C-alpha cells in the first residue's frame, strides 16, 4: 500500500536542516511524521543514529527528499522507504498541518486548531500548552476512549477540572522569579523522593504557597529599598538642579558683561575716530567669539556632570519597584552676536538615555533586594516546614 506523504510545511521544515550534520531523534521523528504520520520507534531511532540529515531523509522519504541530489547522500534501497509503518490501526493518522512542532521538537503555538488534525494530535497539543508536558500514549488512548465521539472540547473541559491543570495554570502565571523558586523546591522534593523519604503533603511547596511566601517577604523587604530609592532620586534631582541653576546664573552674568563690553567698544571707537573701522569690527567679533566659547564650555561641562550622575543613579537603582528613569532639561543656550544676547524659553535634554543599554538594566540595589527577598522567603519556608513538622509529630504521638 502506498503511503501518503505529509504537509508541505513539514517538508519545508525538514529542508531547512543542514544536510551534512548528524541527525538527532527529533529530526528522525519529523521525517517519519512526514512520511508516515507517526514518530519513529526505538529500533528505528537506533538504526539511523549517527547518519547525516541528507542520508536519513533520502532513505525514509525516497525520491521526494529535498536532499536527493546532495553529494555523498544517495538514496539507499531500504525497505523503510517503501513499506508503510506497522501500526495497530488500519488507517494512518492525518498529518497535522498546523505545525504543532518543528523538526527539532519545539512547540509552535498560536496557529489555532488544525481542522485536519486527529483527536490524538489535539490531545497532545492540549497537554503541551495547558499541562506543560507530553501526553503518554496510554493517556491519549484513555481520553480518546472516554470521549466516545464527543470531540476535543469535552476532553479539554474534563482535563481543566484536574488538580494537575490547576497547578500548571497557577505556575504559568508566576513571574520568572517565582517559577525559579518553585522549580528549585520541586528538585529538592524529587531528590528526597529518590532517597526513599516521604514528604508531608502539608509541607510541600506548591506554586500558590511559594507565591505567598514571596509576597510576604517582599512586603517586609521592599519598604526599605523604596525609601532608599526615594532619597537617591531626591539627591540626584537636587544635584542636577543645582548645577543647572549655576550655569544659568553664570550665563546671566555673561549677558551683562557682554552688553557692557560691546557698548564700550563702540564708544571707544567713536571717541578715537574709528566708529566704522575694521578695528572696531574685529574687536566686536572677538567679544562675540569669547562669550560664545564660555557658554559652550560651561554647557558641555554641565552635560558631562549630569550624565555621570544619571549613569550612577541608573547603575545603582534601575529595576527596583517604583524606579523610573529620570530626565533633566535646561533652556537652550543663548545666541550671541552683534551686541545682542538672546536667551531662549525652549528646553533641551541635559543628557540622552540609550534604550539598548538602560531599558532592561538591573541595578546593584535591585540585585541586593532580590537576594534579601529570597533569603527572607527561605526563612519563611523553613519556619513553615518546622511548624508543620512539629504538628505532624504531635499527631503521631497522640
List pLDDT tens digits, range 368-397.
999 999 888 888 888 887 777 655 444 444
The CA distances from residue 168 to 21, 138, 332, in Å, are: 37, 21, 56
Can you give the pLDDT at residue 81?
34
The CA distances from residue 14 to 5, 69, 153, 335, in Å, are: 13, 15, 32, 66
Residue 171 in any domain: the answer is: no
If asked whether residues 217 and 138 sit together in one domain, one would say: no
Q: Is the dihedral of CA 175, 178, 183, 189 positive or negative?
A: negative
Lookup: cell for 296: 559652550
If asked whether residues 312 and 236 sit together in one domain, one would say: yes
If asked whether residues 330 and 249 sit together in one domain, one would say: yes
Can you give the pLDDT at residue 202?
53
If asked whether residues 249 and 153 sit together in one domain, one would say: no
Residue 185 in any domain: the answer is: no
If asked whether residues 147 and 216 sit together in one domain, one would say: no
- Count of domains forming the chain: 2
The CA distances from residue 354 to 307, 360, 365, in Å, are: 12, 11, 21
* Res 306 pLDDT > 80: yes
* Res 86 pLDDT > 70: no
- At a CB cut-off of 8 Å and minimum separation 6, what does 79 contact? none
If asked whether residues 156 and 12 sit together in one domain, one would say: yes
Can you give the pLDDT at residue 176?
79
pLDDT category of residue 97 using cuts at 50, 70 and 90: very low
Residue with cell string 543628557: 351
Phi, psi angles (nearest 5°) of residue 160: -65, -10
Q: Which of 19-28, 109-118, 216-225, 261-270 has the lowest mean pLDDT?
A: 109-118
- Where do the DSSP E strands lie in the chain? 329-331, 335-337, 340-342, 347-349
Residue 373 in any domain: the answer is: no
* Res 95 pLDDT > 70: no
Can you give the pLDDT at residue 24?
87
Can you give the pLDDT at residue 111?
39
Question: 156 or 106, which is more confident?
Answer: 156
- DSSP letter at 5? P
Question: 17 or 276, which is more confident?
Answer: 17
If asked whether residues 159 and 216 sit together in one domain, one would say: no
Lookup: cell for 298: 560651561
If asked whether residues 154 and 263 sit together in one domain, one would say: no
Can you give the pLDDT at residue 199?
52
Residue 312 in any domain: the answer is: yes
If asked whether residues 160 and 219 sit together in one domain, one would say: no
Question: Mean per-residue pLDDT for 256-265?
Answer: 87
User: Where does a domain end: 165, 200, 233?
Assistant: 165
If asked whether residues 125 and 261 sit together in one domain, one would say: no
If asked whether residues 16 and 161 sit together in one domain, one would say: yes
Mean pLDDT estimate for the chain:
77
Q: Which domain holds residue 95?
A: 8-165
Can you give the pLDDT at residue 196?
67
Lookup: cell for 58: 533520502
Question: Mean per-residue pLDDT for 145-157?
Answer: 81
Of the candidates 47, 52, 64, the one whose C-alpha atom is nearest the C-alpha of residue 18 is 52
If asked whether residues 141 and 219 sit together in one domain, one would say: no
* Res 197 pLDDT > 80: no
Sort strands 340-342 and 347-349 into parallel, antiparallel or unpaired.
unpaired
The CA distances from residue 199 to 96, 250, 348, in Å, are: 42, 73, 63
Amino acid at each position: 500500500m502506498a503511503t501518503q506523504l505529509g504537509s508541505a510545511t513539514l517538508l519545508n521544515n525538514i529542508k531547512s536542516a543542514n544536510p551534512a550534520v548528524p541527525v538527532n531523534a527529533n529530526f528522525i521523528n519529523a521525517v517519519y511524521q512526514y512520511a508516515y504520520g507517526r514518530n519513529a520507534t526505538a529500533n528505528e531511532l537506533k538504526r539511523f543514529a549517527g547518519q547525516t540529515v541528507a542520508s536519513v531523509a533520502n532513505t525514509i522519504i525516497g525520491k521526494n527528499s529535498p536532499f536527493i541530489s546532495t553529494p555523498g547522500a544517495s538514496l539507499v534501497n531500504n525497505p523503510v522507504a517503501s513499506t508503510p509503518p506497522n501500526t495497530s490501526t488500519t488507517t494512518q493518522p492525518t498529518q497535522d498541518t498546523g505545525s504543532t512542532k518543528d523538526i527539532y521538537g519545539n512547540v509552535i503555538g498560536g496557529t489555532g486548531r488544525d481542522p485536519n488534525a486527529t483527536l490524538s494530535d489535539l490531545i497532545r497539543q492540549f497537554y503541551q500548552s495547558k499541562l506543560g508536558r507530553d501526553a503518554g500514549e496510554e493517556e491519549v488512548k484513555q481520553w480518546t476512549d472516554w470521549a466516545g465521539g464527543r470531540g476535543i472540547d469535552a476532553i479539554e473541559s474534563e482535563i481543566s477540572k484536574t488538580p494537575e491543570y490547576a497547578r500548571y495554570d497557577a505556575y504559568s502565571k508566576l513571574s520568572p522569579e517565582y517559577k525559579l523558586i518553585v522549580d528549585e523546591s520541586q528538585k529538592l522534593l524529587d531528590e528526597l523522593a529518590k532517597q526513599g523519604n516521604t514528604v508531608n503533603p502539608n509541607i510541600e511547596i506548591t506554586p500558590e504557597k511559594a507565591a505567598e511566601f514571596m509576597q510576604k517577604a517582599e512586603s517586609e523587604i521592599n519598604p526599605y529599598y523604596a525609601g532608599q530609592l526615594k532619597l537617591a532620586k531626591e539627591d540626584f534631582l537636587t544635584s542636577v538642579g543645582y548645577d543647572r541653576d549655576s550655569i544659568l546664573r553664570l550665563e546671566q552674568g555673561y549677558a551683562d558683561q557682554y552688553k557692557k563690553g560691546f557698548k564700550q567698544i563702540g564708544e571707544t571707537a567713536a571717541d578715537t575716530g574709528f566708529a566704522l573701522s575694521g578695528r572696531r569690527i574685529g574687536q566686536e567679533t572677538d567679544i562675540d567669539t569669547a562669550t560664545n566659547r564660555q557658554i559652550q564650555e560651561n554647557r558641555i561641562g554641565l552635560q558631562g556632570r549630569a550624565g555621570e550622575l544619571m549613569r550612577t543613579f541608573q547603575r545603582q537603582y534601575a529595576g527596583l519597584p517604583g524606579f523610573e528613569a529620570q530626565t533633566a532639561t535646561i533652556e537652550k543656550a543663548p545666541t550671541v552676536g552683534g551686541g545682542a544676547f538672546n536667551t531662549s524659553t525652549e528646553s533641551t535634554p541635559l543628557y540622552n538615555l540609550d534604550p539598548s543599554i538602560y531599558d532592561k538594566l538591573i541595578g546593584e540595589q535591585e540585585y541586593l533586594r532580590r537576594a534579601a527577598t529570597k533569603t527572607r522567603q527561605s526563612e519563611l519556608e523553613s519556619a513553615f516546614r518546622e511548624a508543620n513538622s512539629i504538628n505532624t509529630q504531635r499527631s503521631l504521638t497522640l
